[in-house]
Amino acid sequence: MDLKGKTAVVTGSSSGIGLELCGLLTDKGASVYGFSRRLTTMNSPGFTWIQTDVTKQEEIDRAFDRVLREHECVDILVNNAGFGLFGAIEALEPEDWSRLMATNLTAAFLCTRRVIPGMKAARRGTIVNVASIAGKRGFKSGSAYCATKFGLNGFSEALAEELREEGIRVCSINPGSTDTEFFDRAGIEPKKLMNKKDVASLILAMIELPDDMLPDQIVVRPL
Ligand SMILES: NC(=O)c1ccc[n+]([C@@H]2O[C@H](COP(=O)([O-])OP(=O)(O)OC[C@H]3O[C@@H](n4cnc5c(N)ncnc54)[C@H](OP(=O)(O)O)[C@@H]3O)[C@@H](O)[C@H]2O)c1
């Protein structure tokens, strides 16, 4: 896909993989909208930040109302916003579970449903869900986080089948540990880390594949 003149939305734009990806997409000539709670700092005329808490449907709807006022449709949606919370099951509070589900899974559904009508009308579009290796295999202390990312992969896989006949590509990327702010908050320390820009570049490569190629699910981890 040639990104020049295309419209992209990236959730979780204020740091890490999302921030890097916003930079890469604007460099390619796309009009990029970043959604996050904290300010997303990017000096590019092609970039617009819309303050959005993706756990709040009204904020997501307000953000998409603006994007769709300014552009006929969204060509690319990257559901990237997310955080990690790890711990023994008895230490996880129901509110933690709900916040994790709302951010890592429900937000992807709420954002996706706003872009589908335009993508169907245009008979094209690409949706990339940023899941995790934790969405492919379970690990100790990761019950809630893994549940959100397994869920995101299930959502992605089912939607890919539903929408491929419409010319819309839905795929997911499952990164292993990546050097971002994620681990400052997650309370765990991985031994090896990938570079966030390299992971963002892989997402860009998935998006840039020819329109008739569906990358499906990519798993990538530190060597
Ligand atoms: N780092 C890793 O090792 C790794 C591995 C596999 C998958 N992932 C996934 O990669 C994605 C990006 O994470 P990252 O590693 O780049 O970490 P990060 O630097 O902490 O970035 C997370 C982004 O998500 C946003 N976000 C979180 N809650 C939000 C909310 N309620 N509303 C709007 N935005 C929200 C944050 O923005 P605000 O705080 O400003 O709202 C931030 O921009 C996540 O889905 C994560 O699960 C990360």
Using the 8-state DSSP alphabet, how is residue 72 labeled? Answer: S
Provide the pLDDT for residue 186: 78
Is 77 within 8 Å of 110 (Cβ atoms)?
A: no
Q: Is 160 inside any structural domain?
A: yes
Residue range 73-116, pLDDT digits in tens: 999 999 999 999 999 999 999 999 999 999 999 999 999 999 99
Res. 47: pLDDT tops 90: yes
Region 44-73 average pLDDT: 98
Q: Of the candidates 7, 56, 62, which has an alpha carbon nearest to the alpha carbon of residue 29? A: 7
Residue 211 placed within a domain? yes
Stretch among 40-44, 102-106, 116-120 having the lowest mean pLDDT: 40-44
Atom 44 (ligand 1) nearest CA? 82
pLDDT of residue 188: 79
Total number of domains in the chain = 1
83 assigned to some structural domain = yes
Nearest CA residue ID for atom 14, ligand 1: 16
Residue 2 lies in a domain: no
- Contact 17 CB / ligand 1 (< 6 Å): yes
pLDDT of residue 42 exceeding 90: yes
* CATH code of residue 22: 3.40.50.720
**Does the pLDDT at position 54 exceed 90?**
yes
Beta carbon of 142 within 6 Å of any ligand 1 atom: no
14 lines ligand 1 (CB under 6 A): yes
**How would DSSP label each residue in 154-217?**
HHHHHHHHHHGGGTEEEEEEEE--BSSTHHHHH----S--B-HHHHHHHHHHHHHS-TT----E
Rounded CA gap, 96 and 207, in Å? Answer: 32
What is the extent of the structural domain holding 182? 7-220
CB 187 within 8 A of CB 142: no
Asked whether residue 1 is assigned to any structural domain, the reply reads no
